[in-house]
Each structure stands twice: as C-alpha cells, then as structure tokens.
Amino acid sequence: MFAKKSRLVIWALACLLPLPAVAMPLTCTFTTECLDTEGCQDTTYEVTFGAVNERFLMSGIAAERAFDLMSEEDGHRAFVSDAQNGAVGLMTLLSDWAASYAEVGLFEGSYAVCYHGECRE
C-alpha cells in the first residue's frame, strides 16, 4: 500500500511540473521519411511544435495541424490530431528528444507516411 501511495504522490508532483519538451515551441527536424511500401529515404523536413492554449500546434510547409496530448509515460509523450484534409496524425516525442510523426490517410487508396528525427528548443 505504501508503494502505491508513493507512486501516486510522485505522479501527482510530476503533473505539477511544466512540460519542458513542449512548453516552448520546439523545432523538429526530420531526417528520414518512410512512404507506405516505397521504403525510407533521407529528407530535411522541419516543423515547429508547441503548446497553444490547451492544445499543441504543428506548423510546417504543408499547413498547421492541432494535436491533443494522448498519452504520457516516463517522460515520453504521444499526441494525436483529428482528421484534417483526409488524414490523421500521430506525433511522438521521447525524453531524449527523438521524435516521430506519422500521417495516415482516411480514404480508399489511402497512404501512410512517417518521419523520424528530433525536436529541440
């Protein structure tokens, strides 16, 4: 019982701490792009990602996409976006700054693209 309460107290205190990885806008540089069954290739795709009110906003060449924090565990975070322009997005940000962004189409003959890289303040 004591261990359970200790974990609860630690979790509660952690919730009070700011989220340094997303409190300020981050610059995310993706260096690998993987398209469906075409495999992966080098890329230089860059976006900004940061908190705006109660949501998170990704801004890049393509457009802006709003995300919600979906999950957080051991300093790793996962964010999900609603459907926009026929696709949903998933952004993961790990405690070591590694980041992945996947976009999956929601229509027949759909597509999936995944980017790998890192985000920094």
Written in H, E and C, the secondary structure of 63-94 is CEEEEEEEEEECCEEEEEEEEECCEEEEEEEC
The pLDDT tens digits for 71-90 are 999 999 999 999 998 999 99
Quick count: other Cβ atoms within 10 Å of Cβ 43? Answer: 15
Could you give the domains of the chain?
19-120 (2.40.160)
pLDDT given at position 73: 96
pLDDT given at position 22: 55
Q: What percent of the chain clears pLDDT 70, i.e. is strictly above it?
A: 80
pLDDT given at position 102: 96
Q: Model-level pTM?
A: 0.77
**8 A C-beta contact, residue 80 and residue 90:** yes
| C-alpha span between 26 and 19 (Å, rounded) | 12
Q: What would the mean pLDDT of 85-96 be, rounded to a whole number? A: 95
Integer angstrom CA distances of residue 11 from 7, 16, 18, 29, 116: 6, 9, 13, 31, 29
The pLDDT tens digits for 19-58 are 444 567 999 999 999 999 899 999 999 999 999 988 999 9
